[in-house]
Each structure stands twice: as structure tokens, then as C-alpha cells.
Amino acid sequence: MPDHADEDSNFDAEEAVRVIRTNTISKKSRDVYDGSIAQMLKWFYDNKRHLLTEQFIQYGITYGFAKADIRRFLADAPSNAPVKFEDFNVQDFMEWIVSVRKEDGSTPTYSTYNCRRAGLFNLFRDYKQDIAPLQSELKTHFRGLQRTKTQALANGEGRRRLAKMRWNLPSPEVIRGVIDEIEKRAMTAGTVTRDGLEAMINGCLENSALYQLVLTLKNSPTPAIQQEETLTGDEAGTMTPMWGSHIWGGPIHPVPQDFTFPNSCSQIAWQYWMCGDRQKRYPPLRNLSRDDMPSTNMRKRLSDLRYLMQLVEKRVEEQGKWIANPSIEQANEMFEVGKDVLDISDVSEKGRKRRGLQMKWTSMVTQVRNKRNSHRTS
């Protein structure tokens, strides 16, 4: 009798096992875990880059560190690990955990922390790594984390999670239309004038806390504005600015849809990369992701700028001069330390004189890439 186990020579047993292993976790749970790990890997890149593998760093530099980009990298598991598992320890993971904040700046719930831990377990499982040596220490840390959250709630800090309520509010256009119709009918009947109706509405508002709140907000500058008014010189330059928010394409973005990159030399581009634009309320450009770019061309521009600026970043870090949130003056000092990686010939292959560091950063990207590619091939 023939051996049917060898009939299909194209059968990939390893791939079949990988698919079965993937299906042990629901798609919804896997999306949550991968999103959590993507956040952790981005934080590691910014704060503990030594824990990441070189292949993941190069992937991020080329394609970006947005969640979708990192998820595509994680899809190759168990090959191409993003972290050096042999160097990974619980302390590094907990430092990321305690840095996580919600959009309003408050700390997440304990269930959110548990979800992050489950994501870590899934990362080790996907890459066939043994997490058993870390489990005892993780359990100890999370027991302390739970007590900390419980004590904070007992002291009145934070908020207990309440059931979600769906509010079906009419649009402003509908409200305005109803008010106009009420006014029209009332004035037609002769029972009230427009001025009388306005006085009546204002009287109702004055008796509510909402009216007092609006007056307070209207007459009092925001804390950020008050602080800027009292600071001058270097103090105002180093305080954390209030960045803008722009809604287009659905979600909220830190830059508007008509955003453009600076058409400048590499040093000015570095200033925007590290410090942003306070006048236009743009954050440091290093914080932007591919999802914040309105077009394919702009995503390509962001990738080019990130490639160039991260060469300078790496050199500055090697020299021990890195500052996370620098002022313009500090950014210029950092550029002086790292600009040697942008050193190119003052004369082109055709004998034309180049402007060196004064050339536009877009041209500098091309020159640096050509120089590095020629070194690889030689």
C-alpha cells in the first residue's frame, strides 16, 4: 500500500502549524494584542533602542513606526523577531507600562494593564520564546500595580469605570432650525417678540451652572496662555507648547490636511524635526506618522525626512548629547554634533560645485543615499 503521507510534496507542515497556532486566538484579541505590542515597540525605539533587533529598526526607518506598519512586521512571526529576547527583562516592560496614559493624561484602568501583559505573553508565544522565567516577577509587579490603583481610587484619585451611555443628540443645524421655527410661530401669534424670547432664554441660562461655566471660560485665559504671559526669554522657549489638532479624513491629526514640509536646508529641517513649529502649533515632525499624511507623495516625503534625520539622531546618541525635548538652541547644538554624517563631496561627479549643508534637505537625502549605496557596492 502506498504511503499517503508523502503524496503531496508541496505541503508545508510548518506553515500549517503556524496557521493553527494563529487561530487559537480570536481576531479581535489578536488585534488588541498586536496594537499593544506596536505601542510598546515604538516606545522602546524612542527610549530603549538597545532592546530592538537591527532588522526591526531598519524596517521602521524605511516604512515608519505607525501601528499598521509594525503589525505588518509582526505578521512574519516566528521569524524576524522585533526584540532581543535574551536582553528583555520585566523592568523594561514595567517602565513602558507605567508611562502609558489615556488621551486626557490620566492612567489607564487595571484591566488595560492586564491587556498589555497578555499582549506580552502573546509576543513571546508567537516567536516561540519561553516567558516562564519572567512570570513570577511579572506577577509580583502587577500585584503591586493593582494595590496602587486600588489605593488611588480609595483616595478619590482617578475615576471608576461607569457603563457607557449612548447619547443621540440632534445636530446643530436641527437645533437651530427648531429655534427659528419656534421664534417664527411665536412672533406670528403675537405672544412674544424676538427680543423677549432672547431675554427669556438668557434668563434660563443665567440660572444654570452652564452659563457660569461659559462665562468663566470666556473671561479667563487657559493655564497655558497664563503661563506663557508670565514667562519670557529662555523660560518661554523651553516650556511645553500646546499643539494643535485638526480633523480631516475621519480621525484627529496633529497637522492640517494642507500641511507641507519645510523647503529648507538640513539644519532648519532638523529644528522642525525636534521642536516643531510653535507659531503654527505643529508638534515636532519626528512625532508624525504615515497616517498623518494626506497623500502618498507626502508619506514618501515623511519617509525621506525620517531617513535623513535619524542618521543625525543616531550620531548624536552615540556622542551622548541626545536631549528628548530640546529648545531651538539645544537642537542647533545637537545638529552640530551629528552633522558629520551628512558630509558629502563639495563637487559633483560632473564637476559642479555643491552647496554642502546649505542645499535643501530633499537634495541632501538623494546625495546621502547615493553615497551610502556606492560604499556598499564598492
pLDDT tens digits along 152-183: 555 555 554 444 445 555 666 777 777 777 76
Do residues 42 and 147 both lie within one domain? yes
Single out the residue in 106, 139, 154 at which a domain terminates.
Answer: 154
Does residue 109 surpass a pLDDT of 60? yes
Q: Cell triple for residue 235?
A: 523660560
Q: Kindly state the average pLDDT of the residues 272-281.
A: 91
- Of the listed ranges 62-66, 214-218, 343-347, the least confidently predicted one is 214-218
Calpha distance 146→109 (Å, rounded): 9
Asked if the structure places residue 310 within a domain, the reply is yes
Q: Cell triple for residue 356?
A: 554642502
Do residues 136 and 19 both lie within one domain? yes
Single out the residue in 154, 187, 218 at which a domain terminates.
Answer: 154
Distances in Å between the Cα of 137 and the Cα atoms of 23, 89, 93, 99 are 29, 9, 11, 19
Do residues 150 and 251 both lie within one domain? no
Inter-residue contact 116 to 122 (CB < 8 Å): no
25 pLDDT tier (thresholds 50, 70, 90): low
Asked if the structure places residue 146 within a domain, the reply is yes
Asked if the structure places residue 288 within a domain, the reply is yes
H or E segment and range at residue 309:
helix 296-318
Asked if the structure places residue 236 within a domain, the reply is no
Asked if the structure places residue 111 within a domain, the reply is yes
Single out the residue in 154, 182, 199 at which a domain terminates.
Answer: 154
- Of the listed ranges 66-75, 115-124, 130-139, 206-215, the least confidently predicted one is 206-215
Q: Kindly state the average pLDDT of the residues 259-283.
A: 92
Asked if the structure places residue 175 within a domain, the reply is no
Structural domain harbouring 348? 246-377
Inter-residue contact 254 to 292 (CB < 8 Å): yes
Beta-carbon contacts of residue 82 (< 8 Å; ≥ 6 apart): 41, 52, 53, 56, 70, 73, 74
Calpha distance 173→191 (Å, rounded): 25
Closest CA to 82 of 61, 63, 59, 62: 59
Inter-residue contact 301 to 287 (CB < 8 Å): no
> In the prediction, which pLDDT does 204 show?
60
Assessment of whether the complete model's pTM goes beyond 0.85: no
Calpha distance 167→164 (Å, rounded): 10
Query: How does the average pLDDT of the chain come out, rounded?
Result: 75
Distances in Å between the Cα of 152 and the Cα atoms of 107, 135, 140 are 11, 25, 19
Do residues 17 and 145 both lie within one domain? yes
263 pLDDT tier (thresholds 50, 70, 90): very high
Asked if the structure places residue 65 within a domain, the reply is yes
Inter-residue contact 326 to 274 (CB < 8 Å): yes
- The single-letter DSSP state of residue 252 is E
Count of other CB atoms within 10 angstroms of residue 31: 13
Do residues 142 and 20 both lie within one domain? yes
> In the prediction, which pLDDT does 63 show?
85
Tens of pLDDT, residues 35-62: 888 888 888 888 888 888 998 888 888 8
Enumerate long-range contacts of 44-48, CB under 8 Å, 24 or more apart: 44/83, 44/92, 44/96, 47/95, 47/96, 48/92, 48/95
- Of the listed ranges 97-111, 187-201, 222-236, 344-358, the least confidently predicted one is 222-236
Do residues 36 and 147 both lie within one domain? yes
Does residue 348 surpass a pLDDT of 80? no
Closest CA to 32 of 104, 91, 111: 111
Q: Cell triple for residue 101?
A: 496614559
Calpha distance 109→367 (Å, rounded): 49
Do residues 137 and 267 both lie within one domain? no
10 pLDDT tier (thresholds 50, 70, 90): low
189 pLDDT tier (thresholds 50, 70, 90): low
Asked if the structure places residue 200 within a domain, the reply is no
Tens of pLDDT, residues 56-89: 888 888 888 888 888 888 887 788 888 888 888 8
User: Per the omega criterion (within 30 degrees of 0), is the bond before 284 cis?
Assistant: no
Closest CA to 67 of 275, 241, 251, 309: 251
Number of domains in the chain: 2
Number of separate helices (H) and strands (E) present in the chain: 16, 2
Calpha distance 125→2 (Å, rounded): 37
Calpha distance 277→114 (Å, rounded): 38
Backbone angles phi and psi of 72, in degrees to 5: -65, -35
369 pLDDT tier (thresholds 50, 70, 90): confident
> In the prediction, which pLDDT does 7 show?
45
